[in-house]
Structure 1
Amino acid sequence: MRVLILEDDPWIADLLKQIVLSLRPGARVDCQGRVADAIAAWQREPAQMVIADWNLPDGNGTRLLQAVRSQDREVALVMITSRADRDSVLEVRPLGISAFISKPFQVPKVLDCLRRLLPGDDAPAPATASDRDFLGHLAALPDEEIDLPLSAELCQQLQDTSDAPANLQQLGDLWQHDPAVQARLVAAANSPLYNSAGQPCSNLADAVRRLGAATALNLVQGLALRPVARLQDADLQSLGEGLLQTQLSVRQRVTELARACQLDPAPLQCAALLQRMGELAVLQQAQIWRGRGLELHEDQLQRALRQHSSELANRLKAHWRLPIVLRELIGACYGLAPGNTRREPILMRLAVAEMQNADSREVQRLRRLAGLA
C-alpha cells in the first residue's frame, strides 16, 4: 500500500508519516512539499490514500486532489486545513473528500481518523542477504533515517495518555531529561519554517515557545509512534540507560557551574543531553536491525559504537541544522577548540573532566579559565 502526503512543513509531514506507519507498518509513504511535485508523484504511481494540506507555497492542495479525482473516484482523500467555514467545505465538496483534519490537529484524533480510512496493510518486505552487514548498513544509512530512542518511561507515558499538559512549563518539566525530545524540538525550532528571523535556538524552553505547545506536543507524540520508539532488548537498554545517566550527571554538574558563574544554564543543559547522541543513534539502529530478525552480536555492536558514533553524531548535527553555538558546546565535552576563551564551552569541558576523574591539574586549569579558582 502507498500513501501520498502533501505538506510543506517537513516536521509535520514526518509526523503524519509516523502516524500512518504506526497503523500500517508495511505502507510506503511518499512525502512531498510542493503541489507540482505531489501531482508528478501521483502520476508516476497512484496511491491508496492521499493526505494534502490546503495552503502551500506554490498553490492549493486542492489541485492535487482534483488531479487524483480525475483518475480515481474511490481513493481516500484527507484534507488538512485551518479553514473551518462552511463556504470552504462546500468549495471542495465535489471532490468527495473522505475527512478533514483541522489545524492545529491532535495526534489521537488523527490516529482515529486514519485508522478508519486506511486500506489493509501489506506485509513488510523480508530482510535480504545484502542486509546482513550492520556496519555497512550504518555507513549507507540516509540522514533522514538517523534518530534517537525515547527513554522507556517517557515513551510509555506518551503512549498511555492523549491529554496535553496545560502549559509550556509542564511541557518543559516532562521533557527536559530526554535527549530525543531535546533534539527533535530544537531541530524543528531551527528549521526555516519556524525560524524566519534566523535567530538560533539552543535550548528546550526556547524551542517550545517558538513552536507553540500544540506543535511541540504533536512532534513529541510522533516520536512515540515510530515502529521502534525505544530500546527493548536488555543489552541495548542497559547501554542506553548508562549513556543517559552519564548525560544527566553532566547536565546536573554543568547547571551548578553555570549558576556559580551567573550564566544561563539552558544551552549547556541541552548540550549535555546531546553529547552522546551518536552512541544513542547506533543503539537505535541496532534495535531496528534486530527487529527485522537480523543477528547482531556483542562484538559487532561494540565495533559499531567505536567506528560510527562520531560519524552519526556529526551527520545529525548537520541534518538537524543545530546552531553553531550548540555544536561548540557539544564539542567542548570532548575537548576545547584552540584559543577558546568563552566561558560556556570551558564549563562544558570542566563538567565532563570532573565526571571522568580527569587529572586534578587539568581540572584546576579549567576552573581558573572559568574564573572559579
Structure 2
Amino acid sequence: MTAVDLPAVPRVLIAEADPWSRDLLKQVLLNVRCDARLDVCADGQHAATLLGEKTYDLILADWELPGVDGLSLLRSVRQKRRSLPFILLSSRNDSASVREALPLAPTAYLTRPLNMESLTQRLQDLLLNEGESVYCEIPPLAPGMTLPAFLERRREVCDGAPLRVDVKAAVQHSLGPEGLDLKQLEDQVHSDPQITAVLIAAANSAGYHGTPVQTLPEALHKLVPGQSMNLILGLALKHNVVLGDPGLVAYAERHWQLSQDSADYARRLARMLELDHERCYSACILHRLGDLALLRCLEDWRQGGGALDDQTIGESLDAFGAAYGSALRTRWRLPLELRQLIAGIYSLEGGVYSREALVVNLAVQMARLTEHEGLEELAGSKTARLLKVGLPELTRVRKT
C-alpha cells in the first residue's frame, strides 16, 4: 500500500490471542489512525472468517494464534492479495522461523517483546501519507442521555483508572546500560493503581501459567521486561488517562492518597505480624480502583458536553464507585484470592477471614482517620482485638 492508494478510512484486522497484547496493539494503531475501522479477534479461525467476509487494508496477526496460526493466515492471504500489508508478530526469533516466513513476503516480521517505536513507525508508513495526521473529535453525548444511564453503560467497558505516574519518565528512569531494571521500575510505579492492576492482570492472562500472581513484584518478574515496559507505555496512549477537570483531579488525589496511606499501613502491620506484606499492600493500593475508574468516565461525560459539579461527582462515586471496582476486578480476571482480600477491606461481617484480610481492613480504617482523630477507638475495635494489636502497636505503625 503506497501513499497514492491509501484508503480514506483504513480497515484493519488485529488477530492476537493474549487480551493485553491485543489491547496494546489496538492502542498503538489508534494512536496512529484514530479513525481506523478495527476488527479484533483472539483466534485464527475467527480471523480467517473475517478475511472471507471483509476487505482489509492492513492485517496484524500473531504467528502463535490458536486454531489457524498466523503463518497459515499469511499464506492464505498471499494466495489472493500479494500486496496486502501483513505484519506478522511472533515470539520466534530463530533463523529457521524467519526463513520459513520470508517466502510469504510479510510486510514486517516483528518479534516479541515488540519495539514500540519500530511498530509505530511501520504503522505510520502504512496508514498515513507523508506529513499527514488525523484528528478525531470527541463525539457528543446522545440526545437525552442522563449521567446515571451513561455511567451504567460504561461500567462494563471502562478502561480503568487515570494514571498517577508519568509512565514515560518512570520507564526512562528505570532503563540502564543493561536494559530495564525491574526493581527500579517497581519503585517508580508501585503507587499507581492502574499500572498495578494491569500488570497483575496481564501476568495472569492465558499466555502465562503457574501460581496466580497477586502483587506487582510478582507480575514484573513473570512478564518479560520488554512486555512490562510496553504495557506500561501503552497505558499512556489511552483516552483520558490524565484528568483535565480540576474537580475530578481533586477527588482523584484524595483517592490516590487514601490508597497509598492504606497500603503503607497494611505493609507495616503485616510485617509486624509476620504476614504476607506484599499481598496486603497490593490489596490496599487497588481498593479504590473502581472510584478512580469512575472519575475517568466522568471526564468522558464532561468532554462529551455533560454538566459536572462537586455534588454530582460525589453522588456518582457513592452510587457507582463500588460497582465499577467489582466489574473491573472481575473483567480483568484478577486472582480470586486477591479479590477476596480486597473484599475484606469493606466488610468483615460473618464468615471466617484470614489475618491478611483483618490487616487490610484495619489499615484502611487507619488511613481514613483525620489528623485530629486518635487511635484509641480503633485500638478497641473488633478488628484490632482479633489481630491482637493495641494502641502501642498502632501508634508505632502510624509513626513509622
2:242 matches 1:230: yes
In 2, the alpha carbon distance for the partners of 1:176 and 1:308 equals 26
Distance 1:344 1:87, change over 3 A: closer
In 1, the alpha carbon distance for the partners of 2:185 and 2:170 equals 12
Kindly provide the CA deviation profile for residues 105-149 of structure 1, in whole angstroms up to 9, marking residues without a partner as x.
122222222222224658458435248333212212363433111
Give the Å deviation of 1:180.
0.4
Equivalent runs, 1:219-258 vs 2, <5 Å: 219-258=231-270
2:29 equivalent in structure 1: 20
In 2, the alpha carbon distance for the partners of 1:28 and 1:160 equals 33
2:34 partner SS: coil
Equivalent runs, 1:91-110 vs 2, <5 Å: 91-110=100-119
2:212 matches 1:182: no
Matched AA of 1:113: R
Give the Å deviation of 1:354.
2.1
Equivalent runs, 1:144-293 vs 2, <5 Å: 144-151=157-164, 153-155=165-167, 157=169, 163=175, 166-194=180-208, 196-197=209-210, 199-291=211-303, 293=304
Equivalent runs, 1:302-313 vs 2, <5 Å: 302-313=314-325
Give the Å deviation of 1:60.
2.4
Distance 1:67 1:258, change over 3 A: same
In 2, the alpha carbon distance for the partners of 1:330 and 1:90 equals 49
Give the Å deviation of 1:32.
1.1
In 1, the alpha carbon distance for the partners of 2:301 and 2:257 equals 24
Distance 1:339 1:86, change over 3 A: closer
Distance 1:301 1:28, change over 3 A: farther
Matched AA of 1:279: D
2:346 partner SS: coil
In 2, the alpha carbon distance for the partners of 1:304 and 1:226 equals 23
Distance 1:118 1:363, change over 3 A: farther
Give the Å deviation of 1:314.
0.9
In 2, the alpha carbon distance for the partners of 1:114 and 1:133 equals 38
Do the aligned partners of 2:212 and 2:335 also contact (CA within 8 Å) in 1? yes
2:363 matches 1:346: no
Kindly provide the CA deviation profile for residues 129-185 of structure 1, in whole angstroms up to 9, marking residues without a partner as x.
24833321221236343311111x424526978957632211211111100011001
Kindly provide the CA deviation profile for residues 64-106 of structure 1, in whole angstroms up to 9, marking residues without a partner as x.
2233344444432111123345554454445442222112212
The Cα RMSD (Å) is 2.6
How does the TM-score come out when normalised to structure 2? 0.84
Which segment drifts farther, 127-136 or 184-193?
127-136
Give the Å deviation of 1:264.
2.2
Which segment drifts farther, 37-46 or 359-368?
359-368
Which segment drifts farther, 129-138 or 17-26?
129-138
In 2, the alpha carbon distance for the partners of 1:175 and 1:74 equals 43
In 2, the alpha carbon distance for the partners of 1:232 and 1:25 equals 20
Give the Å deviation of 1:29.
2.3
Matched AA of 1:176: H
Matched AA of 1:63: S
2:40 matches 1:31: yes
Structure 1 unaligned blocks of 5 or more? none
Distance 1:309 1:125, change over 3 A: closer
Kindly provide the CA deviation profile for residues 238-272 of structure 1, in whole angstroms up to 9, marking residues without a partner as x.
11111101111111111111111122210111111
Do the aligned partners of 2:158 and 2:293 also contact (CA within 8 Å) in 1? no
2:285 matches 1:295: no
Matched AA of 1:139: E
Give the Å deviation of 1:286.
1.7
1:371 equivalent in structure 2: 388
In 1, the alpha carbon distance for the partners of 2:108 and 2:239 equals 25
2:12 partner SS: strand
Do the aligned partners of 1:11 and 1:188 also contact (CA within 8 Å) in 2? yes
Do the aligned partners of 1:146 and 1:312 also contact (CA within 8 Å) in 2? no
Structure 2 unaligned blocks of 5 or more? 1-9, 391-400
Matched AA of 2:159: I
Distance 1:364 1:82, change over 3 A: same
How does the TM-score come out when normalised to structure 1? 0.89
In 2, the alpha carbon distance for the partners of 1:126 and 1:361 equals 51
Give the Å deviation of 1:331.
1.7
Q: Report percent identity of matched pairs.
A: 31
2:380 partner SS: helix
In 1, the alpha carbon distance for the partners of 2:308 and 2:20 equals 34
1:79 partner SS: strand
Of 142, 148, 160, 1:129 maps to: 142
Kindly provide the CA deviation profile for residues 321-353 of structure 1, in whole angstroms up to 9, marking residues without a partner as x.
222221222122222141334211111111122
Matched AA of 2:387: A
Do the aligned partners of 2:174 and 2:184 also contact (CA within 8 Å) in 1? no
Q: How many residues align?
A: 369
